[in-house]
Structure formats: structure tokens, C-alpha cells
């Protein structure tokens, strides 16, 4: 695939569009050992050898990051008011990276960021039923009747009830915590966890996504930290979004 030289350099975080054009004018960017002069020139990013100040640049078409999204950050590429998840990538940010789906500003946990639009579309497609697991802290305990309703599907004001969910009460120090649950969904409606708990007379006071598809949030990642997916994790994620 041909790519403009200036865009290639921007995606590798060499600088902004104006900065990389200046670098090219300064003669510090070379293609195939020859100093480049035109930022508009097309290159084959997979086969052409591009150097910046003598250092070879390696291009990867697709990147995949697992992030532990912190509270107060929006799941967007740009925002005029709040900090975005993409901004947390720092030097690894690229112009084409975006979050797969969204977590509300007050929700924390597993967020996938990539520039692979095809995979993102398949992961988010309703017919794929990719699991999403949340740790929810509730205003008060969840009783068995409410659990059965959630597991059967509840009316949240849409055309159809939610798909059946999986609910697991948690224990701490051997004590059952009825106000702390793991809720696994097979769809991704707007504010779905909060609306489902409201439908059974409860309220979410804290929410973290702990798993996406077959991948669990890396416990080593502190809020705001991220890492690349391993090859095995990426393969598992692609397997999760097979059509069923």
C-alpha cells in the first residue's frame, strides 16, 4: 500500500505534519539512501527503506494496545474539554489510532485501542456477541430474584429486552458481597450496565470493565497505563469475533 511520506513520518511520531515537512526540507529524511525532497511522494511503507537522521524507521500497519482506562478520561480521539484515552498513549499515539467502543467517563478498566478498523467493526458488530465483563459496585445488595431477572434479560426501554447476562456475586475474606458483582454481557448498548441495574431497582456506584472477549485486564496495568497485546492475545481476540 502506498503512503505519503509525510503521513508515514507522522504516524511514527517523528513530528507534526508541519514539523516533518521541515525535516524533509532540511534533508534529514532519506528513502532508499537518497535524501527526500518532496513530502507528498508516495512510498511503500513495507518495502521502502526510510531513515530519519540516519536511523532506520520501521513501520507497522496495525497496532493493538490494552489500556487500563482511568476515571475522568473520555473514550475518544479528540475532545475540546477533557483528556482522551488516545492522549495517554504519549509517544505511541498515531493519527489513525482509536478506541474500540467506549467506556463512560466515570468507568474504568479494559479498553482496546488500535488502528485496525476491520477488527474493530467485527468486535463491535451485534451479531458477534463478544463478551464484556464488568465489576460493578452497587448501592445495595443484589438478591436472587434480581439476579434471575438479569440472567433472563431485562427491559431497559428499548425495542427488545437485553440478552441474558451472566451474574456472579463476589466474596471478600470469605464473606459474600451481594453489593459487588461480576456482570458479563453479550452485547454493548448505551449505558447498558447502569440501565440494567436500574431496571431491577439498584444503582451502580462504581464500574470497571475487567475483560473484553477472552482477554482479561492485565492486573499489572495501573490506571492510565497500557501495553501492546501479545501475539497470543491478538489471536484469541480475533477468534472471539467469529460470526455465530
Q: List CB contacts of 104: < 8 A, sequence separation 6 or more.
A: 75, 191, 207
CA distance 99 to 120: 9
Q: 104 an active-site residue?
A: yes
Outline where DSSP puts E strands in the chain.
2-4, 29-31, 34-35, 42-44, 50-52, 55-56, 64-69, 98-99, 108-114, 132-138, 166-172, 175-185, 204-212, 215-216, 226-228
- ∠ CA 135-140-142, nearest 5°, is 70
Residue 115's CB is within 10 A of a number of other CB atoms, namely 17
Among the listed residues 131, 196, 128, the one whose alpha carbon sits nearest the alpha carbon of residue 158: 196
Set 48, 104, 131, 179: catalytic member: 104
Please name every residue paired with 184 in a beta bridge, in sequence order, or none if there are none: 133, 166
Q: List CB contacts of 234: < 8 A, sequence separation 6 or more.
A: 64
Residue 41 parent element (H or E): none
Give catalytic residue positions: 104
Amino acid at each position: 500500500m502506498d503512503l505519503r511520506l509525510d503521513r508515514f513520518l507522522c504516524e511514527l511520531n517523528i513530528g507534526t505534519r508541519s514539523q516533518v515537512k521541515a525535516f524533509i526540507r532540511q534533508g534529514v529524511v532519506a528513502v532508499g539512501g537518497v535524501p527526500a525532497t518532496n513530502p507528498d511522494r508516495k512510498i511503500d511503507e513495507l518495502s521502502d527503506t526510510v531513515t530519519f537522521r540516519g536511523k532506520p524507521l520501521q513501520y507497522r500497519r496495525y497496532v493493538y494496545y490494552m489500556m487500563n482506562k482511568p476515571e475522568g478520561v473520555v473514550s475518544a480521539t479528540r475532545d475540546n474539554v477533557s483528556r482522551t484515552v488516545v492522549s495517554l498513549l504519549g509517544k505511541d499515539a498515531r493519527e489513525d489510532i482509536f478506541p474500540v467502543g467506549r467506556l463512560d467517563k466515570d468507568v474504568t478498566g479494559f479498553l482496546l485501542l488500535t488502528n485496525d478498523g476491520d477488527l474493530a467493526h467485527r468486535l463491535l458488530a451485534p451479531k458477534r456477541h463478544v463478551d464484556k465483563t464488568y465489576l460493578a459496585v452497587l448501592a445495595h445488595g443484589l438478591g436472587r430474584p434480581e439476579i434471575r431477572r438479569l440472567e433472563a434479560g431485562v427491559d431497559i426501554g428499548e425495542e427488545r429486552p437485553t440478552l441474558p447476562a451472566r451474574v456472579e456475586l463476589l466474596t471478600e475474606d470469605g464473606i459474600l458481597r451481594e453489593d459487588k458483582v461480576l456482570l458479563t454481557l453479550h452485547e454493548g448498548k448505551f449505558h447498558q450496565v447502569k440501565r440494567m441495574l436500574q431496571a431491577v431497582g439498584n444503582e451502580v456506584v462504581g464500574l470497571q470493565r475487567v475483560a473484553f472477549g477472552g482477554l482479561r485486564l492485565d492486573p499489572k496495568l495501573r490506571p492510565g497505563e497500557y501495553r501492546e497485546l501479545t501475539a497470543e492475545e491478538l489471536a484469541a481476540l480475533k477468534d472471539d469475533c467469529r460470526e455465530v
